[in-house]
Amino acid sequence: MSRQEPIQEMICISCPLGCHLSLYKNDKDELSVTGNKCARGIVYAEEEFYAPKRIVTCTCRAESRILPRLPVRTNASLPKEHINDLIKAAYAMTVKPPVACGQVLIEDFKGTGVNLIASMSLGDGH
Ligand code: SF4
């Protein structure tokens, strides 16, 4: 009998050990994971397989002579399917100083509960 091939392989990034995870599905469509050294690896693999999310970092235009582009990021992981739209929205907007570090620039993007926030302050004098 041949050994079942994994449907996906990934590296767990939940801690520095970086376990190499293999994902399998049985005939009931149930997911199983091997290669994890702790239970967090299973949680990571299930989320990455069914609903992958990422922290997004990019920049947006700023009305500033010194810093024409302000670094911005999401305050939480955003579902992957919304990442391109968020980056487009960030690129399309211009922020006006003063901006405080952590200030919400886009709230609850597409109803995900994730905000786009400023990664640094930009004072009036800039
Ligand atoms: S499975 Fe556990 S030990 Fe392995 S990388 Fe993930 S968190 Fe670390």
Give residue limits of the domains in the chain: 8-50, 57-118
Ligand 1, pocket-test mutation among 11, 22, 34, 38, most atoms within 8 A of CB:
38
pTM over cut 0.85: no
Q: Which long-range contacts (CB under 8 A, 24 or more apart) does 121-126 make?
A: 122/62, 122/64, 122/67, 122/70, 122/95, 122/97, 122/98, 123/97, 123/98, 124/97, 124/98, 126/62, 126/64, 126/65, 126/66, 126/67, 126/97
Q: For 10-44, how does the pLDDT look when each residue is reduced to its tens digit (9 = 90+)? A: 999 999 999 999 999 999 999 999 999 999 999 99
Closest residue (by CA) to atom 2 of ligand 1? Answer: 38
Q: How far is the CA of 41 from the centre of ligand 1 (A)?
A: 5
Which CATH superfamily groups domain 57-118?
CPE0013-like (3.10.530.10)
